[in-house]
Amino acid sequence: MIIDCAHYHEGRRQHEAPMSVDEAAATCTAQREGFVWLGMFEPTPDELAEVQESFGLHDLAVEDAQSYHLRPKLEQYDGDILFVVLRTARYDDSAEEVQFGEISLFLGPRFVISVRQGVGSDLHPARLRLEQRPELLREGTIAVLWAVLDQVVDDYVPVVEGLERDIEEVEATVFSGTVAPTERVYFLRREVTDFYRAVHPLLGPVDALERGGYGVSTTELRQFFRDVNDHLKLVNEEVAAQRDLLTTVLEANMAVISVQQNDVVRKISGWAAILAVPTFVASVYGMNFRDMPELKWAAGYPAAIVLMLAIGVALYAYFKRVRWL
């Protein structure tokens, strides 16, 4: 599905209504200045094939754009075409989970094609923000890459905050001495790991863009990429810290479970020891040998009962003092 398509020249959008794929391709061919930005959301294979034929995209790049859960990357193909894959993320407050999406960008000298898959960053705000900066639009298609990167990285911040709240809840439960649901801890650990895989691979490409790689030729544009890089590094550090913290929480939760299991075993052992004494006494005098003088004592039975109770009470008091019961 085509969301929007426009021609930009001298830092301005040339018309309000979206263009068709054929019109966009014809504009790229006819115009020697400016560029076309074609935005698509979950396109069908036929729609991508039409775009590939119109703009001469590489087969491998188009194949990657149709895939999902790719590793974020930035690749350069023949014809000065950059292919960028970004992982988007959104925190769902109602479900308390992170939802991931994907953005693929084809950047040529005269065109930008953005392909969104799944939930995540809406690129319309990025387009509007870039249209309000004519000086950046004059830089060409690389300015679109900055706008999209800035949007995606900014959308990472609410995800970090949502995960932080979830981790604090689990952490408070564990360190209060209560067992947290192990499944919840594992689920958070997996979410943070997936989020880390979306953020960390971007560090290298964004750092290269800040240093002037991939066609970033002006100092002003490098400053904008530096700002994105700073935000990205901060998010990466926080996600890495969350991952380490969840490892500690998981280990602490297993320790709490182990302590509770040991408490149960101690209680069972204590009661077993208490019950073993009357069982032993009763079993001895239950053998009924002829030469057992205690059997003929008038006070033998009460004495055996008192003995069993006394030892049982003494053991109970001892186990209670050492906190086994």
pLDDT tens digits along 166-192: 888 888 877 776 656 777 888 888 899
**Structural domain boundaries, residue 299:** 257-321
What's the pLDDT score for residue 149? 94
Beta-carbon neighbour count of residue 156 at 10 Å?
26
Q: Which CATH number fits the domain that encloses residue 114?
A: 3.30.460.20
What's the pLDDT score for residue 170? 83
Last residue of a domain, one of 256, 275, 309: 256
Last residue of a domain, one of 216, 238, 256: 256
HEC profile for the chain?
CEEEEEEEECCEECCCCCCCHHHHHHHHHHCCCCEEEEEEECCCHHHHHHHHHHHCCCHHHHHHHHCCCCCCEEEEECCCEEEEEEEEEEEECCCCEEEEEEEEEEECCCEEEEEEEECCCCCHHHHHHHHCCHHHHCCCHHHHHHHHHHHHHHHHHHHHHHHHHHHHHHHHHHHCCCCCCHHHHHHHHHHHHHHHHHHHHHHHHHHHHHCCCCCCCCHHHHHHHHHHHHHHHHHHHHHHHHHHHHHHHHHHHHHHHHHHHHHHHHHHHHHHHHHHHHHHHHHHHCCCCCCCHHHHCCCHHHHHHHHHHHHHHHHHHHHHHCCCC
Q: Based on the fold, state whether residues 70 and 186 are members of the same structural domain.
A: yes
Tokens describing residue 22: 């054929």
Strand partners, 76: 82
What's the pLDDT score for residue 249? 81
Cα separation, 5 vs 51, whole angstroms: 12
* Cβ contact 123:62 at 8 Å: no
What's the pLDDT score for residue 105? 94
How many residues appear in the chain?
325
Q: Based on the fold, state whether residues 211 and 288 are members of the same structural domain.
A: no
Q: Which residues of the chain have pLDDT under 70?
A: 69, 121, 177-180, 256, 259, 288-290, 294-295
Cα separation, 259 vs 253, whole angstroms: 10
Residues whose CB is less than 8 angstroms from the CB of residue 79 and which lie 6 or more positions away in sequence, other chains included: 56, 108
What's the pLDDT score for residue 25? 87
Q: Based on the fold, state whether residues 178 and 88 are members of the same structural domain.
A: yes
Q: Based on the fold, state whether residues 151 and 274 are members of the same structural domain.
A: no
Residue-wise pLDDT for 283-302, tens only, equals 777 776 667 776 677 777 78
φ/ψ (deg, to 5) at 96? 55, 55
Q: Which CATH number fits the domain that encloses residue 284?
A: 1.20.58.340
Q: Into how many domains does the chain fold?
A: 2
Q: Based on the fold, state whether residues 144 and 283 are members of the same structural domain.
A: no
The Cβ-side half-sphere exposure at 318, using a 13 Å CA radius, reads 11
Q: Based on the fold, state whether residues 173 and 293 are members of the same structural domain.
A: no
Strand partners, 104: 85, 115
Entry pTM? 0.78
Q: Based on the fold, state whether residues 135 and 274 are members of the same structural domain.
A: no
Q: Based on the fold, state whether residues 100 and 190 are members of the same structural domain.
A: yes
What's the pLDDT score for residue 286? 72
Q: Based on the fold, state whether residues 169 and 248 are members of the same structural domain.
A: yes
Cα separation, 201 vs 186, whole angstroms: 23
